[in-house]
Chain A
Amino acid sequence: MTMQSHTPTSSFMPDEATFQKRLATRNRTANAWKGFYFFSIGISLVALIALFANVANEAFGSIAVQFEVDPATLTADGTDLNSLDETQLSQILVDQLGGRIVVLIRDELSAVATEDFTTAALADVFPGGSFPEGYAEATIADVRALDSEEAAGVWRDLLAMNVPKDGLLNLINEQIVGLEVVGSWPFLEALFKYDPSQETVDRIAALPTEIASVEAELEDLRSESGGIAQAETALADARADQADDETIASLREEVRNQQALAAELENEIASLEDELETLQDSSIVTEVAANYPGAEIIRFQSWLDTQFLTTQMSSTPYEAGIRGAILGSLWLMAVVIVFALPVGVATAIYLNEYATDNFFNRLIETNVRNLAGVPSIIYGMLGLAVFVRVLEPFSSGSIFGVAGADNGRTIMAAALTLGLLVLPIIIINAQEALRAVPNALREASYGMGATKWQTIWKIVLPSALPGILTGLILSVSRAIGETAPLIVVGASTLLFTDPTGPFSKFTALPIQIYNWTSRPQPQFHDIAAAAIIVLLIIVIALNSVAIVLRNRYAR
């Protein structure tokens, strides 16, 4: 459309035709840029989805498990173990383990040292527990001396009275069932490669016979009375008879033919075997049947389940949990907040509300901004040198008389390191938030006769609080995912106890993930993926809180 032009003839403006032409170019440029923006968004989306898909794919999937003893055979009528009571479960343990039950009590349950075990009274073995009538004072040796039926009854009651049901189930699983994961498959494979087609099944069933028949044929051919031997004998005979060249040549030809036939058969066998292998690998069911003939079941496995969240670290991936790592990460977060929030906010208040604009204060401010960009591993080195080594009496808790770790590689040292790491971010965000408080509010407060402290405390800080908290949460969510400084400071990778306070040794989620991903067994990668999901959920939850706060703040 051409609009009516009011442009006077002597204008600097382009004439109508030029204008239209340039307009088209301008629109093209605009569209090109818009396309670029969409493309960029597309890339970020694809990257995000790929990230999640990859992690989820590993964290869920199928496993093939194998038992030493099928749990269904443990009960007379095959009832589910979970529906049994403590006494019944204890009975199973005693029945199945026989004399080993004493070893189990000594190694897994007893409160007394191994060397005192046999002479210890039951009351010492389970301090504060309850005991079968009349046996509290009896020693282990006494019970052993009973006739075996009676002893079994005592062991059963002892276990039933002192071990919770979960514990009994675990013991049965560990000691009797002996569950072992022999294979695992990621989610997509479990979804698309589970069942073989009927055709495949038939072919797999048929192939061994086919192979066998070809093998038989080959064997025939190679046997003493087989084609090769015959041909060779004929040739040898002919040579011995000094047959004419022509006959020898044709017999030699015959030998070659027979050998070629054998080679052909060999090839056929190899290709049939290849086919079999390919067919077996084409689905999980056939793969298990071929490779783990003893495996009892293939089942869906979510590596991320309540058991994973609530149990301790273990060196078997199927039993490993991340309770210690989660607790470690929570402790770290708590100490980081307690340390970095007040210090960071106080610094920001000083810089923003008190500091005059002079060289010294500008220097501090510039440095804070630069510190925010220092690689985290460098903070790790600092933490190792200062918090772990120099301040060891403090970070190990020994100056407080806390019986914590025997060295400085504790939650305290790591949290102070992470605290330093996020301090600049907290300061910068808090300053940003303080700066966003309108000066009019400060003036209003001063105008009412408020002191500087009252103004900051009652007007400025409350107004800046959402912004400060947003910054805090974002920095904590960065800290919780940091791995390098924790490795340098010396988090434990195989820790079987929960952290009990700021002076404990600890492990943390990223450490656990790092450790598991660097192991060769594929099941460790699966639980690493499950732990990654937990970490991602925590980080995303934290960031969502930050977004909600920020939105409320913007209103």
Chain B
Amino acid sequence: MVYAPEYNDSQDYAVMLENVNVYYGDYHAVNDVTIPVEKGKITAFIGPSGCGKSTVLRAINRMNDLVEGARVTGNVQYHGKNLYDQDVDPVEVRRRIGMVFQKPNPFPKSIYENVAYGPRLLGIKKKGVLDEIVEKSLRGAALWDEVKNDLKKSGLALSGGQQQRLCIARTIAVEPDIILMDEPASALDPIATQRIEQLMREELSEYTIIIVTHNMQQAQRASDYVAFFNIRKNDDGKQEMRWGELAEFGETDQVFNNPASEETAEYIAGRFG
């Protein structure tokens, strides 16, 4: 029996994962994940490498569609609709559910053009409107003061931490509901990391954020909810099979101070992973 958290059917969640399975070709990477993601809160995905955190995260904005052979089953409920229904356009999904990647990946364009990229995709052409969006988004990512005088400079000329904040600004420029962050600080130094965390708590406090992290302190400090994934093995003698499952989900305080399962306690204590 796969673990599933209790949740309130009548509550309006930002996104609700129900019995989600992800396959890469024949490989069943993630089994039966159920996670209620609460609106306006920060949910952290933690767990050992390869347990499927990124896979589940990318299932939420249909990024896995880009991987040849990837397949998702189950229900990803968003505004009363399963994102994997036939009539849902993944382009629409990704505009509403934005994503920040592990390695900062600004476009090889100016800072301004990086942020204006999303609005331009949506057909906004007026310079004045774009200017306003760019400023608002850069402020939202706590980058405005550092770059307002050289918006024409290449995004690639910024430091790693600034680049990542530029990517966040770029993401919020199209006003998504949810921001997915896949280990957004793992390539950054401690100070830049701290700025990102601060940003999540302050400027981005209105957003629903789902963040994958390897860093226990970060999860504990920054998140409201924690989903702990673990690797399951099926050693039937012939061939070892591994896949990821959700092992525990709950409020951050509860998961860290009073974990329900032994494996969570061990992982948090740093005994594996």
> Which A residues have a C-beta under 8 Å from some C-beta of B?
356-357, 438, 440-451, 454, 458-459, 462-463
Q: How far is the CA of A443 from the CA of B66 in the complex (A)?
A: 8
With A449-B122, A450-B91 in contact, do A356 and B68 touch (Cβ < 8 Å)? yes
Q: Which of A447, A459, A462 touches B101 (beta carbons < 8 Å)? A: A447
Chain B residues contacting A462 (CB-CB under 8 Å) are: 108
Nearest-Cβ distance from residue B72 to partner chain A, whole angstroms:
16
B105, B171, B174 — most chain A CB neighbours (10 Å): B105
Q: B63 to A448, Cβ gap below 8 A?
A: no
Distance in Å from the Cβ of A412 to the closest Cβ of chain B?
A: 38
Contact status A443-B101, CB under 8 Å: yes
- CA–CA, A449 to B123, complex, Å? 12
Binds A, one of B92-100, B220-228, B254-262: B92-100
Question: CA–CA, A441 to B103, complex, Å?
Answer: 11
Contact, CB under 8 Å: B68 / A447? no
| Min C-beta distance of B7 to chain A, whole Å | 27
**Contact residues, B54-107 vs A (CB, 8 A):** 61, 63, 66, 68, 91-92, 94-96, 98-99, 101, 103, 105-107
Residues of A within 8 A of B53 (CB): none
Q: Are B91 and A447 in contact (CB under 8 A)?
A: no
Contacts of B66 in A (CB 8 A): 442-443, 446
User: Which of chain B's residues 150-188 have a Cβ closer than 8 Å to chain A?
Assistant: 167, 170-171, 174
Task: Knowing A449-B174, A458-B117 are in contact, say whether A463-B92 is a contact too (CB < 8 A).
Answer: no
Contact of B171 among A357, A441, A448 (CB under 8 A): A448
Q: Collect the chain B residues with CB atoms within 8 Å of residue A448's CB.
A: 94-95, 98, 117-118, 121, 170-171, 174
Q: If the complex has contacts A448-B171, A449-B95, A451-B91, are A443 and B63 also in contact, measured as CB distance less than 8 A? A: yes
Contacts of B92 in A (CB 8 A): 449
User: Which partner residue on chain B sits nearest A356 by CB separation?
Assistant: B68
Instruction: Give complex CA distance A454, B107 in Å.
Output: 14
A444 near B121 with CB under 8 A, answer no
| Residues in chain A near residue B98, CB distance under 8 A | 447-448
- Which A residues are in CB contact (< 8 Å) with B117? 445, 448, 450, 458
Residues of A within 8 A of B91 (CB): 449-451
Chain B contacts for A446, CB-based, 8 A: 63, 66, 94
Q: A444 to chain B: which residues have CB within 8 Å? A: 101, 105-107, 167, 170
A515 to B68, CA, bound (A): 56
With contacts A440-B101, A444-B101 known, is A463 near B108, CB below 8 A? yes
- Bound-state CA distance A402–B61 (Å) is 56
Total contacts A-B at CB 8 Å: 61
- Selected A-B contacts with CB under 8 Å, 13 pairs: A357-B68, A438-B105, A441-B107, A441-B108, A444-B167, A446-B63, A446-B94, A447-B101, A448-B121, A448-B171, A449-B92, A449-B96, A463-B108
A251 → B minimal CB distance (Å) = 110
Q: Shortest distance in angstroms between A105's beta carbon and chain B's nearest beta carbon?
A: 65
A450 close to B107 (CB less than 8 A): no
Chain B contacts of A438 at CB under 8 A?
105
Q: Closest residue of chain A to B156, judged by CB?
A: A555
Smallest beta-carbon distance A422→chain B, Å: 28
* A contact residues around B170 at 8 Å (CB): 444, 448
With contacts A440-B101, A440-B103, A454-B121 taken as known, whether A447 is within 8 angstroms of B108 at the C-beta atoms is no
Report the bound CA distance from A451 to B122 in whole Å. 10
Interface centre among A438, A442, A448 (most CB of B within 10 A): A448
Question: Inside 8 A of A449's CB, which chain B residues have their CB?
Answer: 91-92, 94-96, 118, 121-122, 174
Contact B105 A440 (CB under 8 A): yes
B106: A residues at CB distance < 8 A: 444
Q: Complex formed: what's the CA distance from A444 to B95 in Å?
A: 11
* A454-B105 Cα distance, complex, nearest whole Å: 17
**Which 6 pairs across A and B sit closest by C-beta, in order of nearness?**
A449-B95, A440-B105, A447-B99, A448-B118, A449-B94, A444-B105
Assembled-state Cα–Cα distance A442/B105 (Å):
10
Q: Which residue of B lies closest to A450 (CB)?
A: B121
How far is B67's CA from A357's CA once the two chains are assembled, in angstroms? Answer: 12
In the assembled complex, how far is the CB of residue A204 from the closest CB belonging to chain B, in whole angstroms?
Answer: 74
Q: Is the CB of A443 within 8 A of B121?
A: no
* Shortest CB distance A463–B (Å): 6
Distance in angstroms between the alpha carbons of A445 and B117 in the assembled complex: 9
Question: Is the CB–CB distance between B174 and A447 below 8 Å?
Answer: no
- How distant is the Cα of A357 from the Cα of B69 in the complex, in angstroms? 11
Distance from B137 Cβ to chain A, minimum over Cβ atoms (Å): 12
Q: State in angstroms the CA–CA spacing of A440 and B105 once bound together.
A: 6
Query: Which chain A positions have C-beta within 8 A of B61?
Result: 447
Chain A, residue nearest B92 (CB):
A449
A469 to chain B, nearest CB (A): 16
- The smallest C-beta distance from A223 to any residue of chain B, in angstroms, reads 100
**Distance A407 CA – B54 CA, assembled complex (angstroms):** 64
Contacts of B108 in A (CB 8 A): 441, 462-463
A441, B105: Cβ atoms closer than 8 Å: yes
Of chain A, the residue at the smallest CB distance from B93 is A449
A474 → B minimal CB distance (Å)? 23
Residues of B within 8 A of A356 (CB): 68
Residues of A within 8 Å of B96, CB to CB, are: 449
Closest to A440 in B: B105
Shortest distance between the CB of A124 and any CB in chain B (Å): 60
Taken residue by residue from 234 to 268, chain B's Cβ proximity to chain A (1 for < 8 Å, 0 otherwise) reads as 00000000000000000000000000000000000
CA distance A450 to B117 in the complex (A): 9
Smallest CB gap from B108: residue in A: A463
Complex CA gap A441/B167 in Å reads 11
CB-defined contacts of A440 to chain B, threshold 8 Å? 101, 103, 105
CB contacts under 8 Å to A, within B119-165, are 121-122
